[in-house]
Amino acid sequence: MCSRSTPERAIILSESTGKSGGELRGAAAEALRLRARLLAQAREFFSQRGILEVETPLLSRGVVVDRHLDPPVCRYGPAAGGGENLYLQTSPEAAMKRLLAAGMGAIYQVAHAFREGERGRLHNPEFTIIEWYRPGLNHHELMDEVGALVNLLLPEQSKDGTWEKLSYRQLFRDRLGIDPIECGAGELGQAAEKLGVELEGEFDWKDRDAWLDLLLSTRLQDDLGRERPVFVYDYPASQAALARLCPEEPRLAERFELYIDGIELCNGYHELLDAAEQRTRFEKANDQRRSDGREPLAPDERLLEALESGLPECSGVALGFDRLVMLALGADSIDEVLSFPFEDV
């Protein structure tokens, strides 16, 4: 483990924060060694389960359109001008699904992903995802596999080797006494106000998902997974992203997230297979982006073609590897596990 008092390599910020030694920016050598060990262990885990490591391009001509994700855009072409704009991926999902549709079977990837404007204690605009897909598994079966990986990599957080599963709906009902599916935007707003959320600026009072996100990230998340890892599953259909809807309750989507020590570590889906539905969701996301004042994005047509040609029944999950290293290290900031945080590139 890293001893913060004697880092072998620690870049000290110019402004001392009053903590001894100032604030670290960039990982100490010991953190990078731990990172390498965890990655090797993860690869071994996948290899033992017969999951194949793949690599896919970081650059693409179209994206998985998401209302809240902005891929950086690169210009590819002669220095003199012209050329085309390519996106840096926000996750390797589209390319990996194309491989699945081509019949590659169970695959995983350790990939860099890029998200414009995401910078904070748990965010770096460029970060590392471990993403994997399991044909034939539903989201509950995949959660169990994620649990096994977490047990292996984070024995301290796993304690007795078990994990909890809690539905999104139950979480809101138990902890806040509100039903996230039935409640209208007004009721959610009132709940937030009662919980002491002081809002400034322009807030769209009619946007239910904005309220749900706000309640989850400011009033629920910090307590999640303190005792043992917690999977939150079956999200509102409005937040389905690329998950299929629950057959018995179409207001819910078969999506899950994993929380450990208040940190969101994974996001996974029982994958949507329907190309037409996926196209409709991309269009809807672009409509929302327009009304949010964001540029619409070019949907990944090759992904849609792959879905049309037939994606096997499967579940897939993305794990934030930097955050996993943070948890293993007991780090407060993602900067402690990155060789060079964004400001230093």
Partner 1 sequence: MATTYGTSDFRKGLRVEFDGDPYLVVECEFRKPGKGSAIYTLKVKNLLNGRVLEKTFRSGDSISGADCHDQKMQYIFNDTKDWHFMDPENYEQYAVSKEQLGDLWKYLVEEMMCEVTFYNGNPITVTPPNHVELEVEYCEPGAKGNTATNVTKPAKVQTGAEIQVPIFIKIGDVLKVDTRTGDYIERVHR
Instruction: Please report whether residue 201 would count as binding partner 1 according to CB under 8 A.
Output: yes
Instruction: Please report whether residue 295 would count as binding partner 1 according to CB under 8 A.
Output: no
Residues 11-30 that bind partner 1 (CB under 8 A): 18
When the beta carbons of 43 and 123 are compared against partner 1, the nearer one is 123
Residues 6 or more apart whose Cβ sits within 8 Å of residue 138: 254, 270, 315
Under 8 Å between Cβ of 244 and 253: yes
Instruction: Please report whether residue 203 would count as binding partner 1 according to CB under 8 A.
Output: yes
Q: How far apart are CA 92 and CA 207, in angstroms?
A: 29
When the beta carbons of 21 and 83 are compared against partner 1, the nearer one is 21
Smallest separation (angstroms) from partner 1 to the CB of 148: 21
Q: How far apart are CA 62 and CA 302, in angstroms?
A: 8
Smallest separation (angstroms) from partner 1 to the CB of 47: 27
Instruction: Please report whether residue 89 would count as binding partner 1 according to CB under 8 A.
Output: no
Q: Which range binds partner 1 by CB under 8 A, 100-108, 152-160, 207-215, 296-304?
A: 207-215
When the beta carbons of 107 and 241 are compared against partner 1, the nearer one is 241
For partner 1, what does the binding mask look like between residues 224 and 243, x meaning CB under 8 A? Answer: ---------------x-x--
Residues 313-342 that bind partner 1 (CB under 8 A): 318, 320
When the beta carbons of 103 and 201 are compared against partner 1, the nearer one is 201
Question: What is each CA distance from 140 to 69, 87, 88, in whole angstroms?
Answer: 26, 32, 31
Q: How far apart are CA 181 and CA 221, in angstroms?
A: 18
When the beta carbons of 34 and 269 are compared against partner 1, the nearer one is 269
Q: Which of 32, 51, 216, 272 binds partner 1 (CB under 8 A)?
A: 216
Q: How far apart are CA 260 and CA 41, in angstroms?
A: 19
Look at residue 7 and give its three-state secondary structure. Answer: coil
Number of residues that bind partner 1 (CB under 8 A): 38
Q: How many Cα atoms are found within 13 Å in the side-chain-facing hemisphere of 22?
A: 10
Q: Which of 234, 264, 271, 335 binds partner 1 (CB under 8 A)?
A: 264
Q: Which range binds partner 1 by CB under 8 A, 32-40, 97-105, 154-162, 203-211?
A: 203-211
Instruction: Please report whether residue 68 would count as binding partner 1 according to CB under 8 A.
Output: yes
Residues 107-136 that bind partner 1 (CB under 8 A): 117-123
Instruction: Please report whether residue 50 would count as binding partner 1 according to CB under 8 A.
Output: no
When the beta carbons of 5 and 17 are compared against partner 1, the nearer one is 17
Under 8 Å between Cβ of 166 and 230: yes
Pairing of strands 24-25, 73-76: unpaired
Place of tokens 């024995």: 155
Q: How far apart are CA 4 and CA 10, in angstroms?
A: 9
Amino acid code (one letter) for 81:
G
Q: How many Cα atoms are found within 13 Å in the side-chain-facing hemisphere of 50?
A: 5
CA dihedral 100, 101, 102, 107 (to 10 degrees): 0
When the beta carbons of 119 and 228 are compared against partner 1, the nearer one is 119
State the residues that interact with partner 1 by CB under 8 A. 18, 66-69, 117-123, 196-203, 209-210, 212-214, 216-218, 221, 239, 241, 257, 264, 267, 292-293, 318, 320
